[in-house]
């Protein structure tokens, strides 16, 4: 039921967004814009735990949010902390998903450097095991988008929530392109 409602909402959102952003880009700022929030953990392809906490969206003509990721595949663990949010996008092929793009700092066992990042958060209902998370950095690192759990499938946990628009959830006008928002970093 929840998925059906979301799909019914997402289709006009996608069409509106496509009209707003033009057809040259597969991903665009949803129109009207909204929020997504969530936290949890997944395991990477080598079995290492990756924790995340994130929220993002549009706020009064700009993008807004925070993204934090801790990757235990490094010793000590690598941390990604967002320093600015430069984009918030949806993919009509995944109407329950939103991508948050931004700039951030990585430190820990992966070294210390600044990076562009793109995370995908996908809300596929409650309690959250079907929700999905992925991450890609501008240096080529990618954690492909995967389910949060339950443990035993991909391993992980957590919950992601896509929130409806409100009067403040306006993005930049005109909407920037996907390349401008994400610096060429493709979806994870």
Partner 1 sequence: MRTFDFWKVIGVAGTLAGLVSWPGTGQAQLGGVTDAVTNTTSTLSGQASGSTAVVMGIVTSLVDTGTLTSPSEPLGTSLPIGSIPGLLTAESLHATTMGWTDQVASEASLSNLAMTVAGTGISADFIQSRALAVSGAVPTGLTSIEGLSIGGVPVSFAGAPNQSISLPGLSVTLNEQIQSASGIIVNALRVRSLDGLTDVVVGSAKAGM
> For binding to partner 1 (CB under 8 A), which residues are involved?
35, 37-41, 51-55, 57, 59-60, 64-70, 77, 79-82, 126-128, 150-151, 157-159, 161, 163-164, 166-168
Which H or E run contains 102?
strand 94-107
Nearest to partner 1 of 70, 182 (CB atom): 70
Q: How far is the CB of 24 from partner 1 (least distance, A)?
A: 30
Q: How far is the CB of 142 from partner 1 (least distance, A)?
A: 19
> Reduced to 3 DSSP states, what percent helix, strand and coil does the chain have, rounded to the nearest 5?
15, 45, 40
Nearest to partner 1 of 73, 150 (CB atom): 150
Nearest to partner 1 of 53, 92 (CB atom): 53
Supply 71's token pair. Answer: 């990757």
Nearest to partner 1 of 161, 177 (CB atom): 161
Q: How far is the CB of 179 from partner 1 (least distance, A)?
A: 26
How would DSSP label each residue in 115-161?
EEEEEEEE--SSSSTT-EEEEEETTS-EEEEEE---TTTT-EEEEEE
Q: How far is the CB of 19 from partner 1 (least distance, A)?
A: 24
Cα gap 119→102, rounded to integer Å? 9
In angstroms, how far is CA 129 from the centroid of its own chain?
17
């Amino acid at each position: 039921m929840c998925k059906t409602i979301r799909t019914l909402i997402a289709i006009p959102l996608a069409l509106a967004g496509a009209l707003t952003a033009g057809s040259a880009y597969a991903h665009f700022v949803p129109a009207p814009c909204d929020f997504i929030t969530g936290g949890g953990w997944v395991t990477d392809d080598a079995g290492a735990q990756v924790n995340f906490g994130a929220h993002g969206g549009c706020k009064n003509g700009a993008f807004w949010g925070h993204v934090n990721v801790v990757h235990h595949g490094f010793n000590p663990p690598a941390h990604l902390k967002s320093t600015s949010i430069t984009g918030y996008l949806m993919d009509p092929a995944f109407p329950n998903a939103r991508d948050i793009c931004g700039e951030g700092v990585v430190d820990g066992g992966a070294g210390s450097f600044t990076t562009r990042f793109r995370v995908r958060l996908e809300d596929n209902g409650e309690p959250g095991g079907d929700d999905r998370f992925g991450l890609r950095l501008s240096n080529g690192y990618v954690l492909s988008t995967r389910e949060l759990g339950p443990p035993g499938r991909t391993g992980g946990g957590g919950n992601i929530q896509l929130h409806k628009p409100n009067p403040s959830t306006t993005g930049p006008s005109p909407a920037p392109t996907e390349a401008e928002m994400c610096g060429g970093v493709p979806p994870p």
